[in-house]
């Protein structure tokens, strides 16, 4: 954000300059009015040029923006960690890592959620209009509510076609730009099993992993939600028609036997549950526990687990996550 603000600030100031090497209005008025009394001849704080006329509204806005940018700490010693969660659909953030997002927001982190689709392909259960445009709008509102409940920034949407990410052009360059601009301290997403094999989830994983793998150091840690082995098999069975023949991933690839980080979330389970409930259009009977087949949601309210894309636990990441909950328990079997 800092880089964007600097960029927009300089482009605004650039518009005050003339083409063809003309020194620009500030230099011109200094040359013409050097005899003006001191109270009418002062330096423009934004353009660092002499201003001899009353400041315009743009001067005032640019000057304020420039002051704010100078006060804001640089990326290298930012006191506030930033977290970026990249998901395929509204609701993925809530059941996958809603607890971690809520804890991070509670700790003062700046948390962003990027949803690559609006979830317009989802079956609607709340009795609202079921055209794709209406469903997409409803689900965008639901994700915004979920983010409010979790205490994170309003979500961003790329509005790619829900259900067709596997066939869509890879979004690696665009994702790379987001990461380069935001410089997050952590990136969260679903893993190679797509939680329950959903092709959109898996496509997002592949794009994000490719961006992360190719990024120069220091690259942000990429943490992938790791669910208990078999937990999502009932949901996997419901989604089999999307996975081809034979289905990919295979049933024994659903869930993780090893992971690198545990984030205990029982203390904030009610917040996570409320975030799941915010996705009302996707809940049969309006019940959060009905988002998935019986027994799954309750298991997601105890602990959130993550694998590190590096394939190994990183002590700095473990320490960062531990700062959210106090001393962390031992990691899993990896
Ligand atoms: Zn999803």
| pLDDT at position 4 over 80 | no
Cα 198 to averaged position of ligand 1 atoms, centre (Å): 7
Task: State yes or no: pLDDT of 35 exceeds 70.
Answer: no
Residue 151 CA to ligand 1 center (angstroms) comes to 21
| C-alpha distances out from residue 13 to 39, 125, 181, Å | 23, 51, 21
Spell out the domains of the chain, with CATH numbers in brackets. 2-71 (no CATH), 77-325 (3.40.50.10320)
Kindly give the distance from the C-alpha atom of residue 96 to the centroid of ligand 1, in angstroms, as a whole number. Answer: 10
Residues having C-beta closer than 5 Å to ion ligand 1: 88-89, 92
Q: What is the pLDDT of residues 183-227, one digit of tens each?
A: 999 999 999 999 999 999 999 999 999 999 999 888 999 999 999
Question: CB within 8 A of 82, min separation 6: which ones?
Answer: 109, 110, 111, 112, 182, 183, 184, 185, 186
Span 39-57, pLDDT tens digits: 444 434 443 343 444 445 5
Q: Average the pLDDT over 126-151 and give the result.
A: 96
Mean pLDDT of the chain: 82
Work out the pLDDT band at 37, boundaries 50, 70, 90. Answer: very low
Residue 125 has pLDDT above 70, yes or no: yes
């Amino acid at each position: 954000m800092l880089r964007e603000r600097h960029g927009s600030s300089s482009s605004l100031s650039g518009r005050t300059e003339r083409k063809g090497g003309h020194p620009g209005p500030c230099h011109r008025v200094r040359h013409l009015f050097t005899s003006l009394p001191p109270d009418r001849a002062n330096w423009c704080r934004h353009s660092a040029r002499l201003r001899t006329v009353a400041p315009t509204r743009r001067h005032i806005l640019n000057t304020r923006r420039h002051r704010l940018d100078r006060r804001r700490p640089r990326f290298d010693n930012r006191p506030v960690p930033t977290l970026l969660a990249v998901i395929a659909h509204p609701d993925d953030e809530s059941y996958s890592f809603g607890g971690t997002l809520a804890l991070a927001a509670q700790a003062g982190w700046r948390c962003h959620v990027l949803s690559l689709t609006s979830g317009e392909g989802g079956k609607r259960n709340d009795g609202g209009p079921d055209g794709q445009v209406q469903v997409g709008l409803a689900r965008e509102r639901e994700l915004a509510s979920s983010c409010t409940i979790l205490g994170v920034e309003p979500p961003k949407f790329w509005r790619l076609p829900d259900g067709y990410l596997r066939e869509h052009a890879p979004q690696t360059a665009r994702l790379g730009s987001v990461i380069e601009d935001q410089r997050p301290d952590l990136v969260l997403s679903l893993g190679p099993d797509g939680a329950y094999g959903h092709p959109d989830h898996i496509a997002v994983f592949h794009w994000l992993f490719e961006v992360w793998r190719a990024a120069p150091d220091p690259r942000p840690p990429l943490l992938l939600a790791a669910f208990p082995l078999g937990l999502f098999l009932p949901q996997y069975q419901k989604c089999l028609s999307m996975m081809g023949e034979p289905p990919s991933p295979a049933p024994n690839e659903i869930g993780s036997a090893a992971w690198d980080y545990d984030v205990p979330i029982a203390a904030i389970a009610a917040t996570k549950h409320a975030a799941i409930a915010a996705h009302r259009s996707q809940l049969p009977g309006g019940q959060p526990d009905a988002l998935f087949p019986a027994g799954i949601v309750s298991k997601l309210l105890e602990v959130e687990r993550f694998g590190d894309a590096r394939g190994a636990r990183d002590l700095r990441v473990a320490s960062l996550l531990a700062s959210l909950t106090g001393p962390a328990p031992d990691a899993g079997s990896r």
